[in-house]
Amino acid sequence: MVNPATAETALPAGMALEIDGIRHAFTLEGKPLPVLSDVSFNVEPGEFVALLGPSGCGKSTLLRLLAGLEPPDLGEARADGAAITTPDPSRVVVFQDPTLFPWRTVRANVALGLEAQGLMKTRAHRIDEALERVGLGAFGNVYPHQLSGGMAQRAALARALVNDPRLLILDEPLGKLDSLTRMSMQSEIVDLWRRDGFTTLLVTHDVEEALFMATRVIVFSERPARITADIAIERDYPRHRSDPYFADLKRRVFGLLGMDATW
Amino acid sequence: MSDSALPRYAFAAPQRPWPGVLLAAAVWAAAGALIRIWPDEADFTRLLSTIVFGIAVALSLLAAAGPYLPERAAKVRFAAPWAIALAVALAAWEVITAKTGYLPRPFFVPPQELLGVFVDDWAKLFECVAHSVLLLASGYALGSTLGFLTGLALGWSKAVGYWGHPILRLIGPLPATAWLPIAFFMFPTSWSAAVFLIALASGLPVAILTWSGVSSVGGAYYDIARTLGGSPRFLVLKVTIPAAMPNVFVGLFMGLSASFAVLVVAEMMGVKAGLGWYLQWAQGWAAYGNMYAALGVMAVMCSSLVTLLFQVRGRLLAWQKGLLRW
Ligand SMILES: Nc1ncnc2c1ncn2[C@@H]1O[C@H](COP(=O)(O)OP(=O)(O)OP(=O)(O)O)[C@@H](O)[C@H]1O
Ligand SMILES: [Mg+2]
């Protein structure tokens, strides 16, 4: 496992997370809808944790709580020991829906975080770097409606990456990509994570993707979500998709997701 | 002729003139002849026919030069049917008024009499336009600025929304002209009263549409800006305002139309200047030619201002172009 704690800064490049007894419910048509029931787990700095679970079980909700966009009903999430109460640019989210600002060009969308933090003077060069990295170098000046769905997702990824996050929260960031682009983006994200050492949480429906990228996979139950399994993936990088180790794990995870019949 | 001896297209053959524009020139020339040759008792008949001939000459020059124009400028040829229709309409108007008297004076005015108004009274008309535009611009700028800020505050702040909503619901539907008697009584000058009325008429739709624009901004945009470290100020300036802009412009267009109505009424009722006043003054003298002239000038003024606003919107909302048709 890779965990390059940088020597210059007091804090490691990755953020430590403690998720402690979180419960959360929504009100739907006047009735309470429990979504998270007693979710607890810790994440070490620099870990890459994939979250798997059935659709609608509460994964995106958990990510919103960790981003600080909403407070949990009960329990607490802590980043490096401090309770998460508000959003912070050290914790950057790539949402399930790319939601680029339609009135801004792609480059201006990617610049959003730097503008918000007043870093345009010193770090503007990062914008084109990030665009290159997601393969949108030639599309900086176009508007979002001129992009394909997959390109918009890649632009959203670039918008997150320019901020040098210590925690990168990815909610199905590659869902709209074709399988080839998807594979190359998976490798790209893993490379970035290995280079920069940030902590990563990845929600995905693709078991193979989770196994190929993450150091650890957490499986959730149907709503209200509980953790049903927490599996460490002990394979070094670069990984190979054909590794038989992954085939065995895959069968196990599909079993946990209630799909054993087809395996 | 051998193929290799000469480049075949070394000398471009002279291009044929645009046929549609040429036809338009002919129709204008015919209209000019009709006006000149058929005798009547109106003044300015000669001047009118000279102008019409001048247009015919200009059109034939355009027809000849047209094929050599760049493609952008060459679009004018699509206006040829309009040019023909206008000449026919002018000739018909001339025949039923000046030439035959079929439509009686003074209610119906022949074209040359209208031309006479511009020749005799252009200075006054110009002054009236300047006065109207200044009054309208003052009221509209004030109203749309205040309306925009009000709408922003209503949509952004719960407290302002709580107090502002019922007030706006109550006075919003009231036509601004209903305030006219009170305004002329309350304000020190009729000019300031008119500015107030125009500001009210344009400010209300801007406020309401800005407000609805602000409240319909998707929460996802705010989530993104917040996770990227955006301060409340950043959220207002970089999320709320740009996202609400399409709605704001709908309000600005509604406000502009409303302000035209109030401008004319205010000028007729209290302000002793401007096109509205000119109209009423002309009515007092039964000077129908002057009334038609002022109406025409007013139409040009209003439609120019609307066009100007369209241009501003096109600049600011260029990003929308691919999203919807307008
Ligand atoms: N703002 C909200 N108000 C009410 N209910 C909500 C809200 N957001 C989510 N829910 C409900 O919470 C449940 C979990 O939603 P969530 O988006 O977290 O699921 P998810 O695990 O991310 O699903 P998917 O994999 O399909 O994205 C759903 O049943 C949804 O209806
Ligand atoms: Mg989700």
pLDDT tens for chain B, 326 residues: list them.
Answer: 445 555 555 566 778 889 999 999 999 999 999 999 998 888 899 999 999 999 999 999 999 998 888 888 888 888 999 999 999 999 999 999 988 989 988 888 999 999 999 999 999 999 999 999 999 999 999 999 999 999 999 998 889 999 999 998 898 889 888 998 899 889 999 899 999 999 999 999 999 999 999 999 989 999 999 999 999 999 999 999 999 999 999 999 999 999 999 999 999 988 888 999 999 999 888 889 899 999 999 999 999 999 999 999 998 898 887 665 44
Q: What per-residue confidence (pLDDT) applies to B298?
A: 93
Mutate to test the interface with B, among A100, A112, A127 (most CBs of B within 10 A): A112
- Tell me which residues of chain B have a C-beta less than 8 Å from any C-beta of chain A: 218, 220-221, 223-231, 234, 238-239, 242-243, 245, 317, 319-320, 322-323
pLDDT tens-digit readout, A6-37: 444 466 789 999 999 999 999 989 999 999 99
The answer to whether residues A72 and A18 touch, using CB atoms and an 8 Å cutoff, is: no
Nearest residue on chain A to B324, judged by CA atoms?
Answer: A145
Q: Is A35 in the pocket of ligand 1 (CB under 6 A)?
A: yes
Tell how far the Cα of A204 is from the centroid of ligand 2, in angstroms.
9
Q: What per-residue confidence (pLDDT) applies to B323?
A: 61
What is the Cα–Cα distance from B221 to A25, expressed in whole angstroms? 23
- Closest CA relative to residue A57, chosen from A77, A33, A75: A33
Q: What per-residue confidence (pLDDT) applies to B286?
A: 86
Q: What per-residue confidence (pLDDT) applies to B206?
A: 96
H or E element at residue B57: helix B45-65
pLDDT tens-digit readout, B19-59: 999 999 999 999 999 999 998 888 899 999 999 999 999 99
pLDDT tens-digit readout, B63-118: 999 888 888 888 888 899 999 999 999 999 999 998 898 998 888 899 999 999 99
Q: Which residue reads 């020190």 in tokens?
A: B188
ipTM > 0.95 for the complex: no
The answer to whether residues B139 and B199 touch, using CB atoms and an 8 Å cutoff, is: yes
pTM over 0.90: no
pLDDT tens-digit readout, A112-133: 999 999 988 888 899 999 999 8
Which residues of chain A neighbour B237 with C-beta distances below 8 Å?
Answer: none
What is the Cα–Cα distance from A56 to B157, expressed in whole angstroms? 33
pLDDT tens-digit readout, A213-259: 999 999 999 988 999 999 999 889 889 888 888 888 888 888 888 77
Q: Is A26 in the pocket of ligand 1 (CB under 6 A)?
A: yes
Closest approach of B216 to chain A, Cα-based (Å): 15
Tell how far the Cα of A56 is from the centroid of ligand 2, in angstroms.
7
Is A70 in the B-facing interface, judged by CB distances under 8 Å?
no
Tell how far the Cα of A249 is from the centroid of ligand 1, in angstroms.
28
Q: Using CB atoms within 10 A of its CB, is residue A85 exposed (0-12), middle (13-18) or buried (19+)?
A: exposed
